[in-house]
Amino acid sequence: MLIVMHHTASEEQIRAVEQAVAALGLKAQPIPGGERTAIGVLGNRGYVDDTTIRDLPGVLEIIHVSKPYKMVSRDFHPMATVVKVGSAALGDGGPPVVMAGPCSIESEEQMMAAAHLVKAAGAQVLRGGAFKPRTGPHSFQGLGVEGLKILHAAGREVELPVVTEVMRIEQLEVACRYADMLQIGARNMQNFDLLKEVGRLRCPILLKRGMSATIEEFLAAAEYIVAEGNDQVVLCERGIRTFETATRNTLDLSVVPLVKALSHLPIIVDPSHATGRRPLVPIMARAALAAGAHGLMIEVHPSPDKALCDGAQSLDGQGFALLMKELRFLQDCFAKLNDPAFETQV
Amino acid sequence: MLIVMHHTASEEQIRAVEQAVAALGLKAQPIPGGERTAIGVLGNRGYVDDTTIRDLPGVLEIIHVSKPYKMVSRDFHPMATVVKVGSAALGDGGPPVVMAGPCSIESEEQMMAAAHLVKAAGAQVLRGGAFKPRTGPHSFQGLGVEGLKILHAAGREVELPVVTEVMRIEQLEVACRYADMLQIGARNMQNFDLLKEVGRLRCPILLKRGMSATIEEFLAAAEYIVAEGNDQVVLCERGIRTFETATRNTLDLSVVPLVKALSHLPIIVDPSHATGRRPLVPIMARAALAAGAHGLMIEVHPSPDKALCDGAQSLDGQGFALLMKELRFLQDCFAKLNDPAFETQV
Amino acid sequence: MLIVMHHTASEEQIRAVEQAVAALGLKAQPIPGGERTAIGVLGNRGYVDDTTIRDLPGVLEIIHVSKPYKMVSRDFHPMATVVKVGSAALGDGGPPVVMAGPCSIESEEQMMAAAHLVKAAGAQVLRGGAFKPRTGPHSFQGLGVEGLKILHAAGREVELPVVTEVMRIEQLEVACRYADMLQIGARNMQNFDLLKEVGRLRCPILLKRGMSATIEEFLAAAEYIVAEGNDQVVLCERGIRTFETATRNTLDLSVVPLVKALSHLPIIVDPSHATGRRPLVPIMARAALAAGAHGLMIEVHPSPDKALCDGAQSLDGQGFALLMKELRFLQDCFAKLNDPAFETQV
Amino acid sequence: MLIVMHHTASEEQIRAVEQAVAALGLKAQPIPGGERTAIGVLGNRGYVDDTTIRDLPGVLEIIHVSKPYKMVSRDFHPMATVVKVGSAALGDGGPPVVMAGPCSIESEEQMMAAAHLVKAAGAQVLRGGAFKPRTGPHSFQGLGVEGLKILHAAGREVELPVVTEVMRIEQLEVACRYADMLQIGARNMQNFDLLKEVGRLRCPILLKRGMSATIEEFLAAAEYIVAEGNDQVVLCERGIRTFETATRNTLDLSVVPLVKALSHLPIIVDPSHATGRRPLVPIMARAALAAGAHGLMIEVHPSPDKALCDGAQSLDGQGFALLMKELRFLQDCFAKLNDPAFETQV
C-alpha cells in the first residue's frame, strides 16, 4: 500500500500517518519526492483495510498494491485449473468446449429437439434455463423444477452433461440432482451468499461476469467460491454495459487474454447475450476463439421465431451446425498457430 | 410497439410481419414513410414479446412504447405513495426523512454511541448493517444475527425505527423480527427471487439502484416487489458506475425529479456511498434536497477513523449534527420556494 | 511514481528496474512487502514518462502520483482565480453568475427578444451560438459571422457581455471582435491546438467538460490554456455520457465540490445540455447552486417550440424569470448557510 | 418518426400534435393502442427536427426512425467502397491491409529503422505521428513538419505509402504534400470543421472512432467527410471508454460486423491503442481479423523501451514480424472459411 500525501502536508501530518500505520502492526516507510512525500506500507500479507488512514489530514490518495483475490490468482497459483463437465474438460491446452441450447426450457418437445441439434452439431455440453431472471415481473419466468427434469432427461437422451442457471439458495439441492454444472448469472455475480453456497458444492460452477463488473471484481467473486473449497469454476465473459446501444452489451474480448494472464481459471465467451443479434453471433464466436477462449456458450433453439425468450439472438439448427463446422476448422488453424514450431517452421 | 422495416423491404416481407403480429392476436397498421415503411402494432395491453417478429427478414428495428412496469408508474397510478417507517413518513408533501447510522454494526458500544448521535442530531430512522456485501471474501462480513439484535436494542433505546440490509431469503424472517424496514442493496437490485420474497412481507422496503441499472430497470425491480402485494417501497439513488474514478460512483441526481415524474414511489439519496469521500457528503446532501429528494441516507460513525467498513465516507457526530442543522434550514428554504405563493409573492 | 513488481520478480529484474530509473536521472527506492516488492521513484519534478520502465520483465503495474496538470492545481496555487466577464466576476466568494440565451442565434428578431428576456430576468451574461457543432452534416449549422454580429448588437442593446462558442482557429479573430468570452465546447475539449490558441488570447474562456472526460483530463485541458498565458478560464460541467438514456447526459454534480478542492479555477454548471429536458432544468439548476457552483449556463428562447436547435431543453421567458427569482432566493439561503456564523448562531 | 403520447393525453393534446406535424409539411397518422396513443409521421425524407413537437403537452417520447447519415449507409448505397492507399486497397473482398509504424516520429534514424522493419515484415502502409495529441501540455508534442518530411522520406525509401494524423486545418496543406493518407484521431472525431475540410481533399482519410462515440455518431462523422465530396474514408475502431481500467480502453470488436452491415465504408482495428498493453496486441489483432476487419493499425518501434510515446503498447521488430506471419496464416484460414464452398465442401 502506498499513501500519497498532499504537496503541503506538514511533518506532523506525516508522523500521524506513520503512527496510524504502526497501529495496524505494519511498517511505514516515507519516500520524499520532488513535489510531495509518499509513504510506503511494508509487512502486510494481503489487502490492507485503509479506513483508519485515508481520511487523516494531509492524505491525498491511497493506492493498493494487493488485490482482493489470491486463490484464483495465477501469480500465487501458476498451474492452470482444468474444469471437468461430464467428459468435457475446460482449461489451458485442451480444445475449446461449446455449451449450447435454448435460453429457456419451454417444453419437453422443444428441449429434446434442441438437444438433438446440439449433439448432432458436435457441442459437448447442453444448456437450458429453468429459472429465468427477467427485467420485469410480467415476463415468462421459466418452468422451474419441471424444466430441470426435462433438461436432465434431454441430457441423458443425447448423452451430454447439462448446465443450468440457479438464482436462489433453495434451488441448489434440486439443481444439483438434475444438472452437471450450475451457472451463476450476471445479475447474481455479487450475490455473495449464493457464491458461498455454491462454493460448498462439489459440482462445477459457471460464473458469468456482472454487467458492470471490473475484472478485479469478477475475480474476487470467483474467489468467494474457491475460498469455500470449490475450485471447479469456469469464468464467462458475456458483454458489459456501456453507452453503446446498437448491441445488447459490449463484448469485451480483451478480457480473455487478460484473465488468462491474471488467473489460472478457464474462461469462455457467450456471444449470444453479448451481442443480442443473431447475425453477429457466429462472427463473434470466431473472434472469441481467436482471442484464446477456452470455450463458448451459444444459444440454439429449434425454431427461434417461436422462442419465449431471447429468440432474436438464438441460432437455429442449421446455423449452429455451420458454426460448429467453422469452429472445428478454426480450432485446427489456431492449434497450428499456437504450436511452438509455428514461429520457426511456417 | 413500432416495427421499422428496411428501406429495401419487399411487400412480401411487410406482409409476413403483419401476419406475425396477427398471430399474437394484435393488429398491424403499416405507416409508409418517405424512405421506409414502419408498422404500428395496436391492441396490446402492456409489453409485447417481440421475439417472433424482430428477426424476420426486412425488419430493421423494433421500438417498444410500453414499459416493463405498470403498478409503480405514475401514469397509471397518479396518487403519491407515502411509506411509513415508525413515525416517519416518506413521500410527496412531507418533510425529508433522514436515515443515518454506521455502515456496519461492529459492537454494542459502537452502535449505541451511533444511535445517540443520530437521535440527538434529529434523524428519524437509524441504520446499521448486520449482513455486509463485500467485494472479496477476505474482508469483514458483518456480525449477522448478533448485529441485528444490537441494532434493535439501539433503536429501542433511542426510540427510532431501524433499517438494515438483507442479502438472502433465509434472513428475512429474523430481519423482520428485529428491523422496521429492510434494505435491498445495489448488488441485489436484480436478485429477483429476493425481490419477490420481500414483496410478500408487510414491512417497508428500501430498494437501492443497481450500479449500472437504468431507470427503467430500477422501476421494473420495484414492480417485482409491488406486484407481490407490498407497495411500501422507497427507492434510493446511490450513484452509478461510470468511467470517472475520482469519486466512488457518479451520483445521478437528475434521477430524482425524473423518478418523481415517472413513479408514485418516494425516492431518497445516499451521498455517502455515491461519493465515497467524507468532505463531499454534506455538499451533495444539500444538492439532493435541492433536487427534491424525499429523504437521505447518511453514514455516521462515532469514530470514523476506526470503522471496519467505509470509514472514509462516514461523518462523525459533530459533522452529522452540523449537517442536520443545515438540512433543517434548507428544508425551510425549499418549503418557501415550493409554496405556490412563491411565484407571485416573493 | 511507484513501480509494483510481480510476486515472483527476481533480484535481477528488480535491479534492472532500478537501473532504468537511474537512467532517467531519478532515484529508486525498493520497498519490500509481505507479498511483493514495490519500488518508489524519488527526485522527479512533475509527471514521469514511464515508457522505458513499464514493460520491463517483472513489472506488474506503475502508479503515478504526479498529475498531468500543475498550474491549474490548487495544491500549487491555493489562491482562487476570479474571472471577469464584463462587470460579472466568477470565483470563490462572489455570487453565482448566470449566463443565458438561445442555443443558436437564428435571427436578429429572435436574438433581441431573447436578450431582453435574459436581461429583464437578471442574468449577467448573454449567450448565443453562431457556429454550431451538430452530430450530422444535414442539420442547421448556425449563422456564422452574421450571427456573431447579431449577438454583439444584442449584448450592446441590453448592456450585457456576450459569450459564444468557437470551433476552429480561424474563427478566433472575428469571435474576439464581437464577443466578451469564448466557449470551447465539449466536443473540442481535447482539440489541443484550439486550446493553445485561445491560451494566447487576452479574453476569458469557458471550457466545457468533454462527454467522457475524467476530471484529470478536464483539468489537463485547462492547463493547456493556462500554460500559454491565459489564466481567465471558467470550467463548465455539462453532463457526461453513461449507459443511462433517460436523460441526454448524466449531470455529474459531485464534480463541483471536487474541482473546487483540486483547482483554483471557477466552475459553473449547464443543466440544459446535461438533462436535455425542460422540466428538469430549474430543479437541477437549484441542485447545482446547492453543490456550490460559481454560476449557471441556461438555455432560454423566446419561443422554444420554434427553436431550430435544442428547443426541448430551452426555457421560455416566463420560465426563466421564475427560475432567476428562485435562484436569487436560494442564493440568500446559501449565503446564510455558508456564513461561518451559521454553525454557532442559527 | 413516431410520437408516443401519455396514457392520459387528451383529444385536444393529440390534435395539437397533429397540427404541429402538419406545420412541418408532414402527415400525422394516429395509432391508438390499448394503453396509449402513438402518432406516426409520414412523408419525411430524412431526419425530422422534432423541437417544435417534443415538448408539447401530452407527449411522452419521440422516436426517430431516420438516421443522421445517409451517404455512408449501406441501406442507400449497397455497393462496397474500396479505398486505395498507394498500391493497397481496403474494402470488401480484398485481403486485410496492415498499417504499422511508431506512435511518434522521433528522429530520422528511428523512423528509417521502423520503416525497414515494417516493410520487411510485409505491412502495406507506414504510419508515424508528427503532430501528437497529448492529455497534458507538458508531454512531448511531436516533431511537426520536420517529422512529416522524415516520414515522407522513410516511405519513399521502403516504397510504402504513409499515413499521419492531422489536428488542425492549417496542417492539411503540408500534410497532403508529404502523406498519402490523413488520419483524424479519436479526440477530433467530432471536430466538424476539420471533417468538412478533409472532405474537400482528394486524399484518403482514416477516421478513428471517438472515445465515447456511438456507432451512429461515428457514421454521422464519416457523413461529414463524404458529404463534402470525399468518399475515400476508412473507419477505425480503437477502443471505447468504459468503467474497466485494466485495459487502456475497451476494444469493441462487435462494431466490425455491425459497421459492415450498416455502411459500405471499410473498417479497420487498432489493437495497440485499444488495449495499451503489448502482450495483448497480437492476440487482439487475431481476433480483429476473425471479426472481419478490413485491416489493422499496429504500433511498431525499433526499440519500444526508449519510445517517447506509448512504448508500452508498441511491438518491436521481432514481435511484429511474428505477428505478420501469423496474420498471413490466418488470412488463408479465413479465406477458406469465407469461401461459399466451405459450407458444402469442408
Supply the ipTM of this predicted assembly: 0.89
B158 within a domain of the structure (yes/no): yes
Chain D segment 219-258 residues within 8 A of C by beta carbon are 220, 223-224, 227-228, 241
Helix (H) or strand (E) holding D32: strand D27-32
Supply φ then ψ for residue D80, to 5 degrees: -65, 140
User: Looking at chain D, which residue has its C-alpha nearest residue B212?
Assistant: D243
Distance CA A65, CA C33 (A): 10
**HSE toward the beta carbon, residue A222, CA cutoff 13 A:** 31
At C159 the pLDDT is 98
- Which of C149, C191, C146 has its CA nearest to residue C169? C191
Supply φ then ψ for residue D142, to 5 degrees: 100, 160
Shared domain check, B113 and B7: no
Shared domain check, B158 and B24: no
Distance CA B56, CA B53 (A): 6
| Domain containing residue B22: CATH number | 3.30.70.1140
Shared domain check, B116 and B19: no
Shared domain check, D232 and D152: yes
Instruction: Say if CB B269 and CB B256 are below 8 A apart.
Output: yes
| Burial (Cβ within 10 Å: 0-12, 13-18, ≥19) of residue B240 | buried
3-state helix, strand, coil in chain C (%, to 5): 40, 20, 40
At A269 the pLDDT is 98
Q: Is the pLDDT of residue B265 over 50?
A: yes
Tell me which of A54 and C100 has the higher pLDDT: C100
Chain A segment 157-176 residues within 8 A of B by beta carbon are 167-170
Mutant choice from A44, A59, A62, A193 vs B, greatest count of B C-beta within 10 A: A193
B344 within a domain of the structure (yes/no): no
Q: Is the pLDDT of residue A307 over 80?
A: no
Residues 6 or more apart whose CB falls under 8 angstroms from that of D21 comprise D3, D27, D28, D39, D41, D53
Shared domain check, A283 and A330: yes
B47 within a domain of the structure (yes/no): yes
What is the residue-averaged pLDDT of chain D? 90
Residues 6 or more apart whose CB falls under 8 angstroms from that of B43 comprise B25, B26, B27, D33, D34
Who among C212, C224, C305 is closest to D52 (CB)? C305
D263 within a domain of the structure (yes/no): yes
SS3 B13: helix
Chain D segment 255-314 residues within 8 A of A by beta carbon are 255-258, 261, 274-275, 279-280, 283-284, 286-292
Tell me which of B316 and D26 has the higher pLDDT: B316
Shared domain check, D46 and D115: no
**Does D216 lie at the interface with B, CB-CB under 8 angstroms?**
no
Nine-digit cell string for B117: 448521535
| Domain containing residue A157: CATH number | 3.20.20.70
C129-147, pLDDT tens digit by residue? 999 888 888 777 889 999 9
Nine-digit cell string for A13: 501530518
D123-154, pLDDT tens digit by residue? 999 999 999 888 888 777 889 999 999 999 99
Mutant choice from A44, A47, A243, A244 vs C, greatest count of C C-beta within 10 A: A243
Tell me which of D22 and C91 has the higher pLDDT: C91
What is the residue-averaged pLDDT of chain A? 90
Who among D6, D41, D42 is closest to B75 (CB)? D6
Give DSSP secondary structure letters for A203-247: S-EEEEPPTT--HHHHHHHHHHHHHTT---EEEEE--B--S--SS
SS3 A135: coil
Helix (H) or strand (E) holding A290: helix A281-290
Distance CA A301, CA A312 (A): 10
Q: Is the pLDDT of residue D20 over 60?
A: yes
Residues 6 or more apart whose CB falls under 8 angstroms from that of B83 comprise B89, B90, B91, B204, B232, B233, B234, B265, B266
Tell me which of B40 and A189 has the higher pLDDT: A189
- Which of A55, A99, A92 has its CA nearest to residue A74? A92
- What integer is the mean pLDDT of B114-120? 97
Distance CA D68, CA D264 (A): 16
B65-83, pLDDT tens digit by residue? 677 888 999 888 889 999 9
Q: Which domain holds residue A230?
A: 83-338
Who among B31, B35, B243 is closest to D29 (CB)? B31
Shared domain check, B222 and B111: yes
B75 within a domain of the structure (yes/no): no
B70 within a domain of the structure (yes/no): no
CB–CB contact B214 C322 (8 Å):
no
Q: Which chains touch C (3 or more CB pairs under 8 A)?
A: A, B, D
At D49 the pLDDT is 72
- Which of C20, C28, C11 has its CA nearest to residue C52? C20
Nine-digit cell string for C270: 449547464
Q: Which residues of C touch B255 (CB under 8 A)?
A: 246
Mutant choice from A219, A244, A269, A325 vs D, greatest count of D C-beta within 10 A: A244
At C346 the pLDDT is 47
- Which of C338, C329, C244 has its CA nearest to residue C285? C329
C238-270, pLDDT tens digit by residue? 999 999 988 989 999 999 999 999 999 999 999
Shared domain check, C211 and C104: yes
**Does D107 lie at the interface with B, CB-CB under 8 angstroms?**
no
Q: What percent of chain B has pLDDT over 70?
A: 94
Q: Is the pLDDT of residue D306 over 90?
A: no
CB–CB contact D280 A254 (8 Å):
yes
Residue that is written with C-alpha cell 485495459 in the block: D247
CB–CB contact B46 D35 (8 Å):
yes
At B150 the pLDDT is 97
Shared domain check, D116 and D167: yes
Who among A32, A41, A42 is closest to C42 (CB)? A32
**Residue A266's pLDDT band (cuts 50, 70, 90):** very high
At D153 the pLDDT is 98
Q: Which residues of D touch C188 (CB under 8 A)?
A: 191
Shared domain check, B109 and B16: no
Shared domain check, C318 and C280: yes
**Does D192 lie at the interface with C, CB-CB under 8 angstroms?**
yes
C138 within a domain of the structure (yes/no): yes
Q: Is the pLDDT of residue A318 over 50?
A: yes
Q: Which residues of B touch C288 (CB under 8 A)?
A: 287
Q: Which residues of A touch C35 (CB under 8 A)?
A: 44-46, 66
Q: What's the alpha-carbon Rg for chain C, to the nearest Å?
A: 23
Shared domain check, D320 and D227: yes
Q: How many domains does chain C have?
A: 2
At B346 the pLDDT is 47
* Helical segments of C179-298, H only: 192-199, 215-227, 255-262, 271-275, 281-290
Q: What percent of chain A has pLDDT over 70?
A: 94
**Does B134 lie at the interface with D, CB-CB under 8 angstroms?**
no
CB–CB contact D43 B29 (8 Å):
no
Mutant choice from D218, D238, D254 vs A, greatest count of A C-beta within 10 A: D254
Tell me which of A25 and B189 has the higher pLDDT: B189
C29-85, pLDDT tens digit by residue? 777 766 678 787 776 666 677 777 877 888 887 877 677 888 999 888 889 999 999
Helix (H) or strand (E) holding B337: helix B317-338
